[in-house]
């Protein structure tokens, strides 16, 4: 630990992670969730929507995320993605 800089870097990283978690929580409160998700706690939302494992499959035309439908079904994911898209309109050139 030359010059005592390691703890400062660790604190900086920890602060950045906490800021990201706060912003993520604020974002999740802004979108319209499917009725089945409305009563979920913030921890449940994070675990089931963000921290889930996925496989990325890339082919000639598209990139696809393959998710296990254990806690969150395909229709639920589509509703959440549609709510996110409504938050900001796409650019006029698209």
Domain count within the chain: 1
pTM of the model: 0.53
Look at residue 40 and tell me if it is in a domain.
Answer: yes
Q: Give the DSSP letter string of the chain.
A: -GGGHHHHHHHHHHHHHHHHHHHHHHHHHHS---GGGTT--HHHHIIIIIS--EEEEE-SS-EEEEE--SSS-HHHHHHHHHHHHHHSPPPTT-
**Per-residue pLDDT tens over the stretch 14-60:** 888 888 878 877 787 778 888 888 888 878 877 777 777 778 889 88
Task: Judge whether residue 94 has pLDDT over 80.
Answer: no
Per the model's pLDDT, the better-predicted residue between 24 and 13 turns out to be: 13
Q: Which domain holds residue 55?
A: 2-87
Look at residue 7 and tell me if it is in a domain.
Answer: yes
Look at residue 93 and tell me if it is in a domain.
Answer: no
């Amino acid at each position: 630990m030359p010059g005592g800089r390691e703890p400062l870097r660790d604190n900086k990283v920890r602060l950045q992670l906490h800021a990201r978690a706060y912003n993520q929580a604020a974002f999740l409160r802004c979108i319209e969730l499917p009725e089945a998700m409305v009563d979920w706690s913030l921890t449940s939302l994070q675990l089931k929507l963000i921290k889930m494992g996925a496989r990325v499959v890339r082919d000639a035309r598209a990139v696809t995320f393959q998710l296990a439908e254990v806690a969150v079904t395909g229709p639920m994911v589509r509703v959440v993605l549609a709510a996110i898209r409504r938050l900001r309109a796409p650019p006029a050139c698209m």
